[in-house]
């Protein structure tokens, strides 16, 4: 704690004392299955409370039937929710952590419905939403009254369940922010037309919550310090509204961005392209304007960053949500000074917010136990220690080795090259992806702590396996770029993305990047070569670049490609080359597409498994397990999860 004196100082909000300044902000986990708290959600939050968090704010709870913005929303509209929240509160309190719930109404920000039909959305005025293409109905006063009463009833239920407080979500362009925004609130009644009238909805909500609970119950407000959108709430408007509400609040939780536009939404879970702690200056504006504790979130992934923000007086508490998705034990490790042991979030967004957007439970590519606490929450020690040989030092092999060793097996990992990391070594070379290399650092430390023996520069052969006589061999030999047999006359240089990244190829002035995977490789190569001076066409075998990526990663990347002037050709299947012409085929129509004047084609066409050992070893009766790209070329998420499962299974 001496290393982080501000981070590990207590903070008191009304009658609740938080043991430190580390906050797990409200975030949808997609763990609940029927709108109520379930065992999976309890164990998820218990892990973070046990790991040392000072405060957990649970995901949004709908306050009215019109608040259903997804098909898996927690609802607080009935007393039936109390039992689940009571179980959750007891679990979190037992670990010494405080717990609040977010109270929520999206207004016009409706993503989906449970039955696939378009919902009727309500907002202060009938102003359309751009991102979800929703045209809302203007709220009648009677329905406003119902929704305000819904906030109060929801807060009462949280109070009865034993939670310590609630946080009203006025961030990211949701209903309260829509009332505050003069470009969205066009009303001429008591809820529009002036600052005081636009603030009336939130004022009534806060007053109703206090009346429905008691004086010891904490009421907070989450708000975007500027929505980073032309039609969004401005910093000045947000600060003005918060100052007006200050007498009714116990804290303000500052974030940024809006759900209403693609460009604003990326700030809901900013990817690694954004600097660590980049929202802290915005929080500082609120800190100077208010006499309330100010919380902040936005890529605060390490205790050093949080400590710096607190020391600078920009905030009183730091949201470190993804940091604890990646490592639930992060607070405890920081408290004892074991910062090298922290598994730092790399901002990839793949299994956290990326899973949410696909309707799947939250997880983490580095820590697949996240969201799977009921299955993998604790490792069972091996009854009989075995000699385990792991072949391949990429993410799959590293995770398998660390997991098996943690369970008590004697593990040796063999890597043919000089460096551990596999394809992550190349991923970190792309623009804006340097932080991805953190997965190597983190997995290497896991292996060190588990006392895995590592043999670099050693290519495993059947003879070596027979000489070592392991009980189990885990093959994690990865993959190589897939290079199809393309018709070409050789006039156009054809190279792989790997060759470009390794400096083994020199693309010319006019480059076509053939992107089959629709992931970050093709756009990353396009950005890199454009910045180096090439004119680049990105030919995507999909509807758009980054089609398989998490939305906020994709959208940030799309903005960069647009700014750089990269030419995009969607629906494009690479066929071949002749002269300086690249021939493509439209994947929907089958029509020919030609790009002339090309001197280099860079292939980003996926990968092909490297597996030259399994058949021979199996024929000799060796217990062989295959994981990662060696089994089937996929992503780092599947590789690490394969490694976890293999380490648990041996």
- The DSSP secondary structure of 153-181, one letter per residue, reads HHHHHHHHHT-SEEEEEE-BT-HHHHHH-
For residues 409-432, average pLDDT: 97
What's the average model confidence in pLDDT over 287-298?
Answer: 98
Each residue's pLDDT tens digit, 270-291: 999 999 999 999 999 999 999 9
Considering the domain architecture, whether residues 346 and 417 belong to the same structural domain is answered as: no
Q: Are residues 166 and 187 in the same domain?
A: yes
Q: How confident is the model at residue 328 (pLDDT cuts 50, 70, 90)?
A: very high
Asked if residue 513 and residue 424 are part of one domain, the reply reads no
1 falls within a domain: no
pLDDT digits (tens, 9 = 90+) for 504-546: 999 999 999 999 999 999 999 999 999 999 999 999 999 999 9
Phi, psi dihedral angles at 166 (to 5 degrees): -135, 160
CATH number of 592's domain: 3.50.50.60
Query: Could you tell me if 512 and 640 lie in one domain?
Result: no
Q: Are residues 155 and 214 in the same domain?
A: yes
Structure tokens at 410: 């004697």
pLDDT of 1 reads 66
> What phi and psi, each to the nearest 5 degrees, are found at residue 586?
-70, 125
pLDDT at 113: 79
Are 409 and 320 members of one domain? Answer: no
Residue 426's domain comprises 381-481+609-649
Closest alpha carbon to 552 in 283, 258, 255: 258
My answer on whether 615 and 601 are in the same domain is no
Strands (E), 64-161: 74-75, 98-104, 122-123, 137-138
Q: Are residues 200 and 245 in the same domain?
A: yes
Name the domain boundary from 356, 375, 394.
Answer: 375
Per-residue b or e along 209-247, where b marks 16 or more CB atoms closer than 10 Å to that residue's CB = beebbeeebbbbbbbbbbbbbeebbbbebbbbbbbbbee
Do 282 and 355 have their domain in common?
yes
Same domain, 51 and 103: yes
In the prediction, which pLDDT does 72 show? 87
Domain shared by 332 and 434, yes or no: no
CB 14 within 8 A of CB 215: yes
The reply to whether 525 and 385 lie within a common domain is: no
| Residue range 573-593: mean pLDDT, rounded | 98
Could you read off the pLDDT of 604-635 as tens digits, one per residue?
A: 999 999 999 999 999 999 999 999 999 999 99
């Amino acid at each position: 704690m001496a290393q982080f004196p501000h981070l590990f100082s207590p903070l008191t909000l009304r009658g609740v004392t938080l043991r430190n300044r580390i906050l797990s902000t409200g975030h949808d986990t997609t763990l609940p299955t029927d709108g109520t708290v379930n065992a999976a959600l309890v164990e998820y939050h218990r892990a973070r409370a046990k790991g040392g968090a000072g405060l957990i704010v649970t995901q949004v709870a709908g306050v009215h039937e019109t608040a259903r913005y997804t098909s898996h929303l927690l609802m607080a509209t009935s007393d039936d929710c109390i039992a689940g929240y009571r179980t959750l509160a007891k679990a979190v309190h037992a670990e010494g952590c405080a717990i609040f719930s977010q109270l929520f109404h999206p207004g016009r920000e409706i993503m989906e419905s449970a039955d696939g039909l378009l919902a009727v959305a309500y907002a202060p005025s009938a102003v359309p939403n751009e991102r979800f293409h929703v045209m809302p109905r203007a709220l009648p006063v009677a329905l406003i009254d119902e929704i305000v009463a819904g906030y109060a009833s929801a807060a009462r239920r949280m109070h009865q369940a034993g939670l310590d407080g609630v946080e009203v979500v006025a961030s990211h362009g949701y209903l309260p922010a829509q009332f505050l925004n003069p470009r969205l609130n066009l009303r001429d009644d008591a809820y529009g037309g002036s600052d005081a009238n636009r603030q009336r909805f939130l004022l009534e909500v806060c007053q109703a919550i206090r009346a429905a609970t008691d004086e010891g119950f904490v009421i907070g407000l989450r708000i975007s310090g500027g929505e980073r959108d032309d039609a969004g709430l401005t910093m000045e408007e947000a600060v003005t509204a918060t100052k007006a509400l200050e007498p009714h609040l116990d804290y303000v939780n500052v974030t940024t961005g809006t759900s209403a536009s693609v460009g604003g939404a990326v700030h809901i879970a900013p990817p690694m392209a954004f600097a660590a702690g980049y929202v802290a200056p915005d929080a500082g504006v609120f800190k100077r304007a208010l006499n309330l504790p100010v919380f902040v979130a936005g890529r605060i992934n390490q205790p050093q960053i949080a400590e710096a923000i607190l020391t600078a007086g920009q905030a009183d508490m730091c949201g470190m949500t993804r940091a604890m998705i990646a490592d639930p034990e992060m607070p405890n490790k920081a408290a004892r000074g074991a910062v090298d042991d922290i598994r730092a979030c790399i901002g990839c967004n793949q299994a956290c917010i990326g899973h949410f957007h696909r309707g799947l439970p939250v997880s983490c590519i580095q820590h697949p136990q996240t969201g799977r606490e009921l299955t993998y929450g604790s490792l069972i020690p091996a009854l009989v220690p075995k000699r385990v040989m792991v072949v391949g030092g990429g993410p799959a092999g590293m995770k398998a080795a660390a997991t098996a060793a943690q369970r008590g097996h004697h593990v040796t990992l063999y890597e043919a090259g000089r460096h551990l990391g596999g394809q992550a070594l190349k991923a970190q070379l792309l623009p804006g992806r340097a932080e991805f290399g953190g997965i190597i650092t983190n997995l290497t430390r896991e292996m060190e702590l588990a006392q895995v023996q590592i043999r670099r520069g050693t290519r495993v052969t059947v003879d070596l396996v027979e000489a070592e006589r392991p009980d189990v061999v885990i093959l994690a030999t990865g993959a190589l770029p897939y290079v199809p047999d393309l018709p070409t006359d050789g006039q156009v240089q054809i190279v792989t993305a790997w060759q470009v990244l390794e400096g083994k190829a020199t693309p010319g002035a006019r480059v076509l990047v053939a992107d089959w995977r629709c992931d970050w490789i093709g756009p990353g190569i396009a950005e890199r070569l454009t910045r180096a001076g090439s004119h680049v066409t990105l030919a995507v075998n999909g509807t758009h670049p980054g089609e398989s990526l998490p939305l906020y990663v994709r959208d940030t990347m799309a903005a960069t490609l647009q700014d750089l002037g990269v030419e995009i050709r969607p629906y494009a299947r690479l066929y071949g080359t002749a002269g300086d012409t690249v021939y493509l085929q439209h994947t929907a129509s089958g029509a020919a597409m030609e790009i002339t004047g090309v001197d280099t084609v860079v292939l980003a066409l996926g990968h092909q498994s490297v597996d030259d050992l399994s058949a021979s070893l199996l024929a000799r009766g060796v217990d062989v397990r295959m994981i990662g790209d060696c089994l089937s070329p996929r992503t780092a998420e599947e590789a690490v999860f394969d490694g976890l499962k293999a380490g648990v299974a041996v």
